[in-house]
Structure 1
Amino acid sequence: VNNESKSKEEKSTPKDRLSLLESQSKAIVKKQFPFLDFFANAPQPLFTEESLSKDLQTAKNCFKHMTALFDDLEECRPFEVLRGSRDRGDFLSTTHAKIIALTCTHAALKRSDLVNLRFQYDNLIMEESAQILEVETFIPMLLQNQDSELGSRLKRVVLIGDHHQLPPVVKNMAFQQYSHFDQSMFTRFVRLAMPVINLDMQGRARPSLAALYSWRYKNLGNLPIVSNTPIFQKANAGFACEYQLINVEDYEGKGETTPNPYFYQNLGEAEFIVQTYMFMRLVGYPSEKISIITTYNGQKQLLRDIIRRRCENNPLFGEPAKITTVDKYQGQQNDYILLSLVRTKTVGHLRDVRRLVVALSRARLGLYVFCRQRLFENCYELTPSFSRLLTRPTKLHIVPNEMFPSERPVQAPSNAFVIEDV
């Protein structure tokens, strides 16, 4: 046999020998590749044996895939030891997480645990920082131990807030008034004239709605989106105006009532608002696009009771997205806001302009304010906003037979029907 093969090699030409070597070199990748069985279920053969360079590239890609699998296994190995969800969460937070979101309250409660876990971070971003106590702002900066050589790892702190809105809540009046505990660190920095970046363009509300509170902000403008987007150019279905102050007189001979001290309610406003909400639902407004807010807890409870009795079990109406107070709704928004101001004898705590700014700035497309006109129009602190509100009729103007969504331009005249004797 050996003699026969030798004789064949002697008879073969140099060209035949070269082609034999080339064919062997093309097949060498497939012969030497150690993971053929692992990739046996591939939709097509890995190696074509037509080009050595292509087969080598395929082999490299396969090795990359194998390396990624082993990297994933390496990351999962600790979970063989960490059986509890809490331990696994701590491991992920301290080892793999790039961004961690938590509240200031949670940071204060878990500070010792985070320090013991050797939690480390370089940047801190705090949203709604104007509504956070100074000590609550300070604690998140101390969630890690300082390095003995390099000092604190924290390199950047970004505070985002609006000092023209409501401050932190301090229930102890002595601390609030005499110790000024209701001042946030954000507000302190602004008051001390530290350099700040003012965002002077808003993209939340229609320009006409933004004009109700823009006087509190220096050179507040509007982003193009609130002028160019079709949803901001169309009118609110069923309403003649995109915003309106609706004057509510005594209902059954009563205005504001106080069943308990400081528990203010106004049945007339509550009934009017619920009827307006039901009208909006019949017109076709989605319930999740409507929020009802008020300035007092008593009115909030009354509104919830009426909604629960009239709308909760009726599939035509259902409940709105939120029924809450202005203070609790800070930092949130909705397309359509129904606002109850409750008071009919004195202005109350709405005299704080910051609370008024929060109340008027929650709506994107429609705002309807239910109140006692002659009380609030004479309040000096509120004049810039109420003077603009009073440029519109103070009786609710609706547009019959118009369904949601409306194709009527927001400035187009409409055949309005006036709601009277309510």
Structure 2
Amino acid sequence: MLRRGALRFGSVGGAIQLQLTTQLSTKALRSKWKRRPKSSSNLAFPPAFTENLRRWQKLLKMEIDANERVIREHLSNSSWRDLSRRGLAIGNLRLVSHKVEPLCGRVVELETSDSEHWNSMGIKFKRGVPLVLCSGERISHLGECVLLSASERRIRLKLDGRAPELSVDHPTSYVLIPSVTAGVLHSLTKFLSESSSWKGLPGERILQYAYRAVPMPVVHRDRKLQCIQKLNDDQQRAVAAALNRSRPIVTIQGPPGTGKTAVVIEIILQAIRTKQKVLVCAPSNLAIENIIGRIRGETEASRMSLDPSISMEEDLKQHNSYSDLLRLYEQLNESIRLTGDSSITRKISQEATRLRDSMRKSVVVEKQVILCTVSSGSLHTLRGLGFFPDVVIVDEAAQAMECATWVPLLQAPRCVLAGDHCQLPTVLHSSEAISQGLGTSLMETLDKEFGSVVKHFLSVQHRMNEKIMRWSADYFYESKLQAHRSVAGISLSDISAIDGSDLMNEPLLMIDTHSVSRQRGLSVSVERIHQQSYRNHGEAEIVCAYVQFLMRKGVRQCDVGVISPYFAQVELLRKTLGEEIVNTVDGFQGQQREVIVMSLVRNNYEGRIGFLSDARRLNVAVTRARRQFLLVGSSSMMRHAEHLRSLLECIRTVGKVLRPDQLTFLSVDAHAIGQDVSER
């Protein structure tokens, strides 16, 4: 067990969260410094990587432009309220105050006059959420920021020191954009443009291996370990490989339900046992939160907030120099008020910054484990703060762009990438950038390039009924994925009043809306465009009726998930079912439910399937379910794409395809499935 807590910490450079856990004494730390990796600065970047650097910068610019274009297009067809519900932006904000605080630095407070708009936002107001501040007129990028607090109408933000000065007296309106859609891209562009400064970093050798500038070591045997958690054979082998210091690169592919996160946790705990320093990263805050929760269960970890100052807030407040820091910032704010940006103000600011940095370093230098997002601006400060990791672990690595993954990987001589490139990649808006490979992950590239030399596959899933697993296993995982005996036969009858012989107890079901055109008294289920998205009222009625049927049979609401690829359909379903159980496919990644009900939405003569053209999105949808996956959609539409055809054939082979007139839970009135739910 660890003697110290865990500390989350990041910077305003992107979607950021850090957590630190410590055990090393000062004596042990000195010995770590002596074993610091030798510089490889005499090595040149491989030509292929140099070319990628140029290409990535161009593609990132495309994606930045596409992000801003998406917001403008949505705004031209809808209101700021609609954009906020989608989690795209928060607009019409007014600056209330702008000051400098001891731990957070520049802090701004913004206010909205629309309380209804404020309460319905898709962006969750949680301390530490990374955002980008923009001017309202042209949505132009002003600076990165981190949310400190939010009240009924106001929001407090820590602003990047590089952002321009803001004036309360100026009548400018402001916009906030989630940093994952803007700030991260700007930070990456800056990072890539400074590649000359990467020379001599410990991870430069990893780069050489990845691009075959030097031969990848081939290891035939890993030392068997005494695991802390109960793990199966595949998981134990993956942990042993990850802890083998002769392996510079290890990838762990974990299909849905195979316990990939448990493997990551085991690697962290084992590394702590052997006194290694570990940097753990992920592309999203959600993934970091998941690991934080698991570490807390296994260690005496305490949770902090983020940003190098915010995340260390409690540690810094206990520091012997904290009272001196408070005094300096009181003097600084008074000097700003009286003299503005004078030489006296700058001198006090420099002194306060030096003291704060010294305090940070004294805290970080003792830490053993750090967790952060791959795009965290704080990654660039770790070495200066005295943190030299022995290994970098990237969870959900398949969701991170390769260019983003190199940010943490350059910090250590070894890396472990865990994820599944058969699930959703990073979300991008520029079709051209996507077609040119911006969304391709380093993990996917390494697996294709080196295969079993670096790759370890987790083959036993503990989540879903084997019928639900079957399509995913055959289509994505070469039929290598197996269902553990504890879940292979689970069904709804185990947790509800649905009889085991009931048709609706089938684990894999489809309700085919194509056939309704041939049913007397039934309308055709069709797609309709709504605010640059799609919805299907007929499918919505069937979905809502089935969820209500499940509730009557004793299935708990929290055990049901309703998903759709389209936000307009999600909003339509939420009118009846509420927000708690309805989300997009992307929003459900990393989660599971006893029952998943999916609305396909698309139904047109041309066979256009939009979002559904990415087979990985369908893989995520199906594998969220444990006891039942029910698909509502048109079989004729599914014939237009190979992966949809294969799923349809799988349902017909191991599950059941039903017509709406076979459903006893549909009332006579509900058979008019073309009618808008909201009008009934």
The offset of 1:175, in angstroms, is 1.7
Could you tell me whether the CA contact under 8 Å between 1:134 and 1:184 is conserved in 2?
A: yes
Residue in 2 that maps onto 1:192: 449
Whole-angstrom distance in 1 between the partners of 2:432 and 2:365: 45
Residue in 1 that maps onto 2:275: none
Structure 1 residues 234 and 379, CA gap change in structure 2 (3 angstroms): same
1:188 partner letter: T
Residue in 2 that maps onto 1:36: none
Provide TM-score, normalisation by structure 1: 0.63
Residue in 2 that maps onto 1:334: 593
Residue in 2 that maps onto 1:382: 644
1:181 partner letter: L
The offset of 1:77, in angstroms, is 11
Whole-angstrom distance in 1 between the partners of 2:431 and 2:545: 38
Whole-angstrom distance in 1 between the partners of 2:317 and 2:570: 52
Could you tell me whether the CA contact under 8 Å between 2:595 and 2:625 is conserved in 1?
A: yes
Could you tell me whether the CA contact under 8 Å between 2:511 and 2:659 is conserved in 1?
A: yes
Q: Among 291, 298, 301, which residue is 2:571 paired with? A: 301
Residue in 1 that maps onto 2:423: 165
**Higher CA-based Rg:** 1
4+ runs of 1 displaced by more than 4 Å?
A: 75-78, 83-93, 230-233, 249-254, 416-421
The offset of 1:186, in angstroms, is 0.7
Residue in 2 that maps onto 1:258: 529
The offset of 1:102, in angstroms, is 2.2
Residue in 2 that maps onto 1:137: 405
The offset of 1:243, in angstroms, is 2.2
Could you tell me whether the CA contact under 8 Å between 1:244 and 1:396 is conserved in 2?
A: no
Deviations 1:199-242 (A, max 9, x none): 122111111111121112122212233248x7788376433312
Structure 1: state its 5+ residue gaps.
Answer: 1-74, 144-153, 309-318, 399-415
Residue in 1 that maps onto 2:635: 373
Deviations 1:118-177 (A, max 9, x none): 22322222111111111221111245xxxxxxxxxx243111111222222222222221
Residue in 1 that maps onto 2:615: 353
1:225 partner letter: S
Residue in 2 that maps onto 1:217: 477
* Mapping 1:49-198, distance limit 5 Å: 79-82=319-322, 90=360, 94-105=364-375, 107=376, 109-143=377-411, 154-177=412-435, 179-194=436-451, 195=453, 196-198=455-457
The offset of 1:96, in angstroms, is 4.5
Structure 1 residues 77 and 164, CA gap change in structure 2 (3 angstroms): closer
The offset of 1:393, in angstroms, is 3.5
Residue in 2 that maps onto 1:284: 554
Provide TM-score, normalisation by structure 2: 0.41
Whole-angstrom distance in 2 between the partners of 1:93 and 1:340: 50
Could you tell me whether the CA contact under 8 Å between 1:338 and 1:369 is conserved in 2?
A: yes
353-362 or 77-86, which moves further after superposition?
Answer: 77-86
Structure 1 residues 113 and 383, CA gap change in structure 2 (3 angstroms): same
Matched, 1:245 2:245: no
Whole-angstrom distance in 1 between the partners of 2:610 and 2:512: 18
Whole-angstrom distance in 1 between the partners of 2:622 and 2:366: 42
Structure 1 residues 381 and 287, CA gap change in structure 2 (3 angstroms): closer
Whole-angstrom distance in 1 between the partners of 2:386 and 2:531: 51
2:472 partner letter: Y
Structure 1 residues 272 and 232, CA gap change in structure 2 (3 angstroms): closer
Matched, 1:394 2:658: yes
76-85 or 366-375, which moves further after superposition?
Answer: 76-85
Residue in 2 that maps onto 1:38: none
Deviations 1:234-275 (A, max 9, x none): 3764333122101234776551000334x1111111122122
Whole-angstrom distance in 1 between the partners of 2:358 and 2:552: 49
Whole-angstrom distance in 2 between the partners of 1:181 and 1:328: 21
Whole-angstrom distance in 2 between the partners of 1:224 and 1:240: 19
Whole-angstrom distance in 2 between the partners of 1:336 and 1:89: 50
SS of the aligned residue for 2:372 comes to: coil
Residue in 2 that maps onto 1:56: none
Structure 1 residues 236 and 243, CA gap change in structure 2 (3 angstroms): farther
Structure 1 residues 286 and 79, CA gap change in structure 2 (3 angstroms): farther
The offset of 1:182, in angstroms, is 1.5
Q: Among 190, 203, 209, which residue is 2:462 paired with? A: 203
Structure 1 residues 354 and 89, CA gap change in structure 2 (3 angstroms): farther
Structure 1 residues 76 and 189, CA gap change in structure 2 (3 angstroms): closer
Deviations 1:187-210 (A, max 9, x none): 111221342111122111111111
1:132 partner letter: A
The offset of 1:420, in angstroms, is 7.6
Whole-angstrom distance in 1 between the partners of 2:549 and 2:493: 22
SS of the aligned residue for 2:458 comes to: coil
Whole-angstrom distance in 1 between the partners of 2:589 and 2:420: 11
The offset of 1:397, in angstroms, is 9.9
- Provide the alpha-carbon RMSD of the alignment: 3.3
Which structure has greater strand proportion? 2
Deviations 1:296-338 (A, max 9, x none): 1221122223334xxxxxxxxxx54x42211232222222111
The offset of 1:104, in angstroms, is 2.0
Could you tell me whether the CA contact under 8 Å between 1:294 and 1:341 is conserved in 2?
A: yes
Structure 1 residues 231 and 244, CA gap change in structure 2 (3 angstroms): closer
SS of the aligned residue for 2:591 comes to: coil
2:448 partner letter: R
1:358 partner letter: V
Whole-angstrom distance in 1 between the partners of 2:358 and 2:485: 46
Deviations 1:363-401 (A, max 9, x none): 111111111122214543322221121241313699xxx
